[in-house]
Amino acid sequence: MAHPYLFFVELFKMIGFQHAFEYKHVIYSWVVMILLLSLGALGAKGVKLVPGKAQNVFEIIISGIEDFMIDVTGEEGRWLFPLAATVFIYIFTCNLIGLVPGFFPPTADLNTTGACALTVVIFTHIIGLKYHGVKYIKHFTGPVWWMIPIVFPIEVIGHVARILSLSFRLFGNMMGHELVLMILFGLAGLFFGPLPIMGLGIFVSLVQAFVFFLLSIMYFTGAMEHAH
């Protein structure tokens, strides 16, 4: 996909990495990670007993995400909050940076969304094994043994479909938004034409990150429950 100008891709080309455009999703994933780590370090450094405005904002966001997750998973799922919150914040930030001229949203590449989906689905099974041990296999075999040939393939297909659903939904929406922005950049100039779509893009970025987050914690909750 062509792009008017990608700042960090051009920067890497200047230092000799001529194939930077092929790995733009990796480059901008690192940009997002460095940004989030820097903000986290600054936020942790400035923590006070009497919080300031910035700390209040961070605490409201984090506590809001945590409270929502506990409402879905129950208190037993609180230990999963760091992973679930990281997935939400990372994806939301990846979505948002695509609205900045010269930046590319890593989530508009299937490699990024596929990696996030694989992480969630694999960890879902780790949770299942942690809570149920070898009895976790009952989630795939059904209530009675003679249904195994029917239930097992269906369950396997369903879990593979989770990876496809999570990755393609996010990728498709972000790629579509990126294509619309590129067309408007070409037709109406750099700023004024795309502004309404960019405003809508903030909403889309939040919704897509929230959907990924919600489905993830629902999968986690399902793995913690006993098979019926």
Asked if residue 36 belongs to a domain, the reply is yes
Q: Report pLDDT for 163.
A: 93
Asked if residue 2 belongs to a domain, the reply is no
Give one DSSP letter per residue of the chain, joined into a string: ---S--HHHHHHHHTT-TTGGGGHHHHHHHHHHHHHHHHHHHHHHT--SS--HHHHHHHHHHHHHHHHHHHHH-GGGGGGHHHHHHHHHHHHHHHHHTTSTT---GGGSHHHHHHHHHHHHHHHHHHHHHHHGGGGGHHHH-SSGGGHHHHHHHHHHHHHHHHHHHHHHHHHHHHHHHHHHHHHHHHHTTTTTTHHHHHHHHHHHHHHHHHHHHHHHHHHHHHHSPP-
Asked if residue 169 belongs to a domain, the reply is yes
Asked if residue 1 belongs to a domain, the reply is no
Asked if residue 85 belongs to a domain, the reply is yes
Tens place of pLDDT per residue across the chain (228 aa): 445 578 888 888 888 787 888 888 899 999 999 999 988 887 777 667 666 676 777 788 888 888 899 988 888 888 999 999 999 999 999 999 988 878 889 999 999 999 999 999 999 999 999 988 888 888 888 777 777 888 889 989 999 999 999 999 999 988 887 777 777 666 655 555 556 667 777 888 999 999 999 999 999 998 888 655
Asked if residue 161 belongs to a domain, the reply is yes
Q: Report pLDDT for 190.
A: 55
Asked if residue 124 belongs to a domain, the reply is yes
CA atoms within 13 A on the CB side of 104: 28
- What is the C-alpha separation between 46 and 43, in angstroms, rounded? 5
pTM for the complete prediction? Answer: 0.87
Domain count, the chain: 1
Where on the phi/psi map is residue 103: left (φ > 0), alpha (ψ -120 to 50), or beta? Answer: beta
Nearest 5 degrees, angle CA 172-CA 178-CA 180? 100
Q: What is the domain extent for residue 105?
A: 7-224
Q: Report pLDDT for 227.
A: 56
